[in-house]
Amino acid sequence: MSTKSAPDRVLSLGEKVKASLEGLIGSGELPPGARLNEVALAKRLGVSRGPVREAARALEKTGLVTVILNRGAFVRTMGIDEAMQVYEMNSVMFGFAAARLAVACTGEQAMALRAFLAEMDRAIEAEEKDAFFAANVLFHERILAFSGNAVMEQVYLEHTRKLQLLRRRSFDRTGSMSEANAEHRRLLDAILAGDASLARQLGEAHTRSGRARFLSAIEYRDGLQLAPAAKRPRSQPAA
């Protein structure tokens, strides 16, 4: 049977449910603060409650949901203050990675980073915000990856993903994009020049700029973690 369509199962049901939940949360169908009804989700996804529970617990550790005993799992609401802290941590790690890369950057890596830069330039020109966003994320992630510290990379990825819960595309204006890419270019120059100290400084500063852009972007957009607040007997975890 060469036409074996089902690629068997390399993923447990729990992991598949987890992916589904991430999608539902990312798409906004499960807004921050919403409760994850186990039976409803299980029915909807065609599985039992077990895998749903496992997925919820896994997502709790990922930081996407909060689980309260006998109350259930809630889509996590990230406050601005916490987002600021994540940015701060990312800044430190990104700066370190940049410095590390400045002293040990292979030609292949440099080429890859340059390619992202070009792609972002192109996206800015074409005003393709999504393309820019994707390349931007990858540029940062690759720098972490190239730094050679897998642990730090994982922490960075995990928290960045969590962050994207809150800011769904804070690059509203094209101005932000070209501004950001200019910083990218300066950073890459420092890396290629082998100036670790400057690379670190620029890397940290760039993340802080990103934080500032994020802040100004959500300024009027507000509507943060405040749900309708009509009545929330089983819809809001703490207070």
Partner DNA sequence: GCTTCCGATAATGTAAACAATAATTCGGTC
Partner DNA sequence: GACCGAATTATTGTTTACATTATCGGAAGC
User: Which residues of this protein are in contact with DNA, per CB under 7 A?
Assistant: 8-9, 12-14, 35-40, 47-51, 53-54, 67, 69-73, 231, 233-234
Residue with tokens 């990103």: 210
Total of chain residues touching its own copies, rule CB under 8 A: 25
Closest approach of its own copies to the CB of residue 126, in Å: 36
Q: Which does 13 bind (CB under 5 to 8 A by kind): DNA, its own copies, none?
A: DNA
Q: Report residue 88: phi and psi, to 5°.
A: -65, -45
Does 201 bind its own copies (CB under 8 A)? Our answer is: no
Closest approach of its own copies to the CB of residue 47, in Å: 15
Q: Which of residues 120-179 bind its own copies (CB under 8 A)?
A: 149-152, 155, 159
Closest approach of its own copies to the CB of residue 105, in Å: 17
Residues 6+ apart with CB under 8 A from 156: 90, 93, 94, 141, 144
Which of 47, 92, 117, 131 binds its own copies (CB under 8 A)? It is: 92
The interface region with its own copies, picked from 56-64, 103-111, 116-124, 183-191 by CB under 8 A, is 56-64
The Cα 139–Cα 51 span in angstroms is: 34
Closest approach of DNA to the CB of residue 82, in Å: 23
Tokens of 209: 């700029």
Q: Which does 229 bind (CB under 5 to 8 A by kind): DNA, its own copies, none?
A: none
The Cα 163–Cα 157 span in angstroms is: 10
Does 187 bind its own copies (CB under 8 A)? Our answer is: no
Query: Which among 81, 83, 92, 82 has a CA at the least distance from the CA of 205?
Result: 92
Q: Which does 65 bind (CB under 5 to 8 A by kind): its own copies, DNA, none?
A: none
Of 164 and 178, the one with the shorter C-beta distance to its own copies is: 164
Site residues, its own copies (CB under 8 A): 10-12, 50, 53-54, 57-58, 61-62, 69, 82, 85-86, 88-89, 92-93, 96, 149-152, 155, 159
